[in-house]
Structure 1
Amino acid sequence: MSQYKINEVFESIQGEGSFTGVPSIFIRLQGCPVGCPWCDTKHTWTIDPMLERSRDVVMAEQAESEHWFTHSVEQLLALFAAQGYQAKHVVISGGEPCMYDLVPLTSHLITLGYSVQIETSGTYEILTHVDTWVTVSPKVNMPGGKPVLASAMQRANEIKHPVAMEKHIEELDQVLKLLPATNKPLIYLQPISQQKRATELAIKVCIQRNWRLSLQTHKFIGIE
């Protein structure tokens, strides 16, 4: 029976990429060795057995925490029901969700009528149901030293790239070379931390390349 280490589960509105504005259930998995300096979920990086807690303890926490709990697919669905969640779109993120085999979880959700999206750095093989929407946010030259995989880029339905300066556009251009000419995922640029310079750069390049702008809408309106 598949078990997943979970940092948090909550219901909100998707604020980024193609599903911006869609009511969603977020499952944030624990563990990530990529080491992005600007990461806003660094509390999900480490899987420390000493920080495992019960589901009820983790779900009751009101602030970001390194605590995590373990659940099976069946237990997660029971949690959805217990919380009274209404959204029919599920976003699996992290951490790095592709450290896990997501086939059992995504297959079960899709069978039950949910649409499913995963958000990954592209540094792990993607094991998920064929109908999962895959958002790759390629993490290039990060401190963890893990390369972006061609197989991950080729599985992407959308590519969402954080940018702050020109070198980030150059890095994206390099990993886009991993795509065959027939692959045409949606490409979004997302300004890091809503910085003015980053936003201006993203807008300029989106217009030049006919790409799309992704703003972290949830941060502008003050929700998780």
Structure 2
Amino acid sequence: MNYKINELFETIQGEGSFTGQPSIFIRLQGCPVGCSWCDTKHTWDISVDDQVTPASMLTKTEETSHWANFSPKDILALVNEKKFNAKHIVITGGEPCMVDLTPLCQLFEQQGYSTQIETSGTYEIITTDKCWVTVSPKINMRGGYKILSTAMARANEIKHPVATDQHIDELKALLAEHKVKDTAIYLQPISQKKRATDLAIATCIANNWRLSVQVHKYIGIE
């Protein structure tokens, strides 16, 4: 099986439960959800005109919609070739759950890595039992996709972007609908604006939830 890879790099995880964890990010191409505040819109479309060689994809110096096909073994070989030190894999996008992620996660877990998926919750999550699943539910987005009960049930953590009280109300309605229990709930201010941050802090305290502040953006790393 091949995966359409837009980026592969080593950095520090800046969000959710693994904040501060050295991580290898595998960014997949393709997402029809259509979030207005998305900061990776270059990963939305899958065009054959944007397909490049693996070598070309790896030499990109700016964000582009260019992608290349990699098998799980190709990705593992690349990670070994680059001598990355991180032992935590983060599969993101785009919307990574558009494809079966089991072969990719299974291979890395067999090599002693931990794996994590960041998904919108609008696609079935097909992965290993050990994989940590972060659902960042994208509610009423342009693409018209619904949040799946199976995705909410599989989530190890729920990380919800917020800017207004409406976003809080939408999350509470979603949690009530899907009867989520014993799952870490994170609020993540959109665009690091003070109003959104203040709202997130107050709501986290009121509900005993957690705050995710996108540390990587504050310290200026990818």
Please confirm whether the aligned pair reaches a TM-score higher than 0.5, indicating the same fold. yes
Give 2:26's aligned residue: 27
- Whole-Å separation in 1 of the counterparts to 2:111 and 2:9: 19
- Whole-Å separation in 2 of the counterparts to 1:178 and 1:171: 10
Q: What is the TM-score normalised by the length of structure 2?
A: 0.98
- Whole-Å separation in 2 of the counterparts to 1:203 and 1:180: 23
The letter for the 1-side match of 2:118 is E
- Whole-Å separation in 2 of the counterparts to 1:134 and 1:124: 13
Q: Give the count of matched residue pairs.
A: 222
Give 1:54's aligned residue: 53
Give 1:221's aligned residue: 219
The letter for the 1-side match of 2:189 is P
**Structure 1 gaps, min length 5:** none
1:192 equivalenced with 2:168 (yes/no)? no
Using the aligned pairs only, state the percent identity: 60
- Whole-Å separation in 1 of the counterparts to 2:26 and 2:148: 24
Shift of the alpha carbon at 1:111? 1.1
**Structure 2 gaps, min length 5:** none
- Whole-Å separation in 2 of the counterparts to 1:81 and 1:187: 34
The letter for the 2-side match of 1:85 is F
Residues 56-65 or 194-203, more deviating: 56-65
Shift of the alpha carbon at 1:179? 3.2
> In the TM superposition, what whole-angstrom CA distance separates every residue of 1:38-66 from its partner, at most 9, and x where no partner exists?
00000000000010001111111111010
After the TM superposition, which parts of structure 1 deviate over 4 Å for at least 4 consecutive aligned residues? none
The letter for the 1-side match of 2:87 is K
- Whole-Å separation in 2 of the counterparts to 1:129 and 1:99: 15
Asked if the contact 1:157–1:186 (Cα under 8 Å) also holds between the matched residues in 2, the reply is yes
Give 1:64's aligned residue: 63
Shift of the alpha carbon at 1:79? 0.7
The letter for the 1-side match of 2:38 is C
What is the CA RMSD across the aligned residues, in angstroms? 0.8
Asked if the contact 1:153–1:178 (Cα under 8 Å) also holds between the matched residues in 2, the reply is no
- Whole-Å separation in 1 of the counterparts to 2:158 and 2:179: 14
Give 1:170's aligned residue: 169
- Whole-Å separation in 1 of the counterparts to 2:38 and 2:96: 15
Asked if the contact 1:6–1:28 (Cα under 8 Å) also holds between the matched residues in 2, the reply is yes
Give 2:136's aligned residue: 137
Give 2:99's aligned residue: 100
- Whole-Å separation in 2 of the counterparts to 1:47 and 1:83: 27
- Whole-Å separation in 1 of the counterparts to 2:175 and 2:140: 15
Q: What is the TM-score normalised by the length of structure 1?
A: 0.98
For the residue of structure 2 that corresponds to 1:177, the secondary structure is helix
- Whole-Å separation in 2 of the counterparts to 1:178 and 1:31: 28
Residues 36-45 or 102-111, more deviating: 102-111
- Whole-Å separation in 2 of the counterparts to 1:59 and 1:69: 9
For the residue of structure 2 that corresponds to 1:153, the secondary structure is helix
1:127 equivalenced with 2:156 (yes/no)? no
Shift of the alpha carbon at 1:177? 2.1
Asked if the contact 1:154–1:178 (Cα under 8 Å) also holds between the matched residues in 2, the reply is no
For residues 106-125 of structure 1, what are the structure 2 equivalents within 5 Å?
106-125=105-124
1:153 equivalenced with 2:152 (yes/no)? yes
The letter for the 1-side match of 2:15 is E
